[in-house]
Structure 1
Amino acid sequence: MDGEIVGAYADGIRRVYADAFSGPPWHEDDPAAGHRYVERLATDAARPGFTAALALDAGGTVSGFATAWTTPDPFPTGRAYDAVAAALGPRRVTDRLCGALEVDELAVAPAARGTGTGAALLTAVTAAAPGGRCWLLTSLRAGTALRFYRRAGWHRLPEAVPGRAALTVLLGPAHPDAGAAAGAG
């Protein structure tokens, strides 16, 4: 779905975001974090290649969402991009990530976890990844998320991303460079 439709579900997205990211390792337990995310989402929806997927329960309540967009070339700065660029270097960032679909957020409400909702959302937002090229960041401290992505066929790059968040880059299962990441675990 596009940004306009996402906006219609802003309250549910805010709630799921707050539920998903308030605990470790993210600790976004400030009640305003969900509101800030929804505000950022409005801007993100204008990015080239933006796509989103939304899961609704039987009552029409948001039970999960995922967002993605095409990573521009040149590689962006700010947010965690600077740390990723420092870890991979300019050539590998350009070769592996620029022009690829970047999964920005994937969040599932606690009641919907373990039901296949996360896998369905991830598949939905990455289905149109150009040449299978998709990537994402997560924390090495997010054990549940890392296990989920591993089961979904994603591969962690061996390069450490500097910073307090202990971030790591994962390449999607069909990414042409996923084999280079397979040994990283």
Structure 2
Amino acid sequence: MRCSGPGIPGVLDALGDAYVKIFTAPPWSHRSPAVARHDFQERLKRDAHRPGFRAVIATDETGAVTGFATGWITQAPFPTDRAYGKVLRRLGADRVGELLIGSFEVDELGVRSHARGTGLGGRLLSDLTTAAPGGRSWLLTWDQAHDALAFYRRQGWEEPEAVHGEETDIVVFLSPP
């Protein structure tokens, strides 16, 4: 199922349920489920209004969300909230402008544990980024999310080199050429 901004209110609760199951399990188990749900849903309501917002959602036979991905086109000026400041430090302003502005930003990609290893994550990522401007997409993840790092590398996503001395606890990936 694909969803644009106006369709988000209709799937907000189901996405919140899936988000909590995915992003309060290791390595994110330090997060409070109630806070994680609230913060995600509030952020998603705002993000749904970003230029180029898209979501893809997979459900099982009961209608429960088994996986989802969201994203939008990165606009200038590059944000500095959330982990964006770390992206700027890691890549430098010139490379951020060259590599990320105007490309499709994958914000969230999550697959419930019982659906991992089925190819669902790769299908969601591909479906979300298929219409990326100029075929360019990017994402970031936490350097302690070892399964996510391995997944993106298997999908052919590449890490641009960090500015010397500016490594951070996030890893930036660019879509395959």
- Is the shorter-chain TM-score for this pair beyond 0.5, marking a shared fold? yes
CA distance 1:28–1:49, change in 2 (3 Å): farther
Letter in 2 for 1:2: S
1:9 aligned to which of 4, 8, 11: 11
Structure 2 contact 91–161 (Cα < 8 Å) conserved: no
Aligned pair 1:106/2:109, yes or no?
A: yes
> How many angstroms does 1:162 deviate by?
4.9
Q: Secondary structure of the residue that 2:43 maps to in structure 1?
A: helix
2:48 aligned to which of 45, 48, 72: 45
Structure 1 stretches lacking a partner, 5+ long: 175-185
1:56 aligned to which of 44, 56, 59: 59
> How many angstroms does 1:19 deviate by?
1.4
Give the CA RMSD over aligned residues.
Answer: 1.5
Q: Secondary structure of the residue that 1:158 maps to in structure 2?
A: coil
Q: What is the distance in 1 between the residues matched to 2:111 and 2:155? A: 15
> How many angstroms does 1:117 deviate by?
1.3
Q: What is the distance in 2 between the residues matched to 1:140 and 1:30? A: 20
Q: What is the distance in 1 between the residues matched to 2:38 and 2:159? A: 30
Aligned pair 1:68/2:108, yes or no?
A: no
Match in the other structure for 1:134: 137
Aligned pair 1:168/2:171, yes or no?
A: yes
Structure 2 stretches lacking a partner, 5+ long: none
Q: What is the distance in 2 between the residues matched to 1:54 and 1:24? A: 22
Identity rate, percent: 48
Match in the other structure for 2:158: 155
Aligned length: 172
Match in the other structure for 1:81: 84
> How many angstroms does 1:78 deviate by?
1.0
Q: What is the distance in 2 between the residues matched to 1:114 and 1:11? A: 25
Match in the other structure for 1:19: 21
CA displacement 1:109-134 (0-9 Å, x = unmatched) = 11211111111110111001111110
Alignment of 1:115-134 (within 5 A): 115-134=118-137
Letter in 2 for 1:31: P
1:34 aligned to which of 37, 41, 46: 37
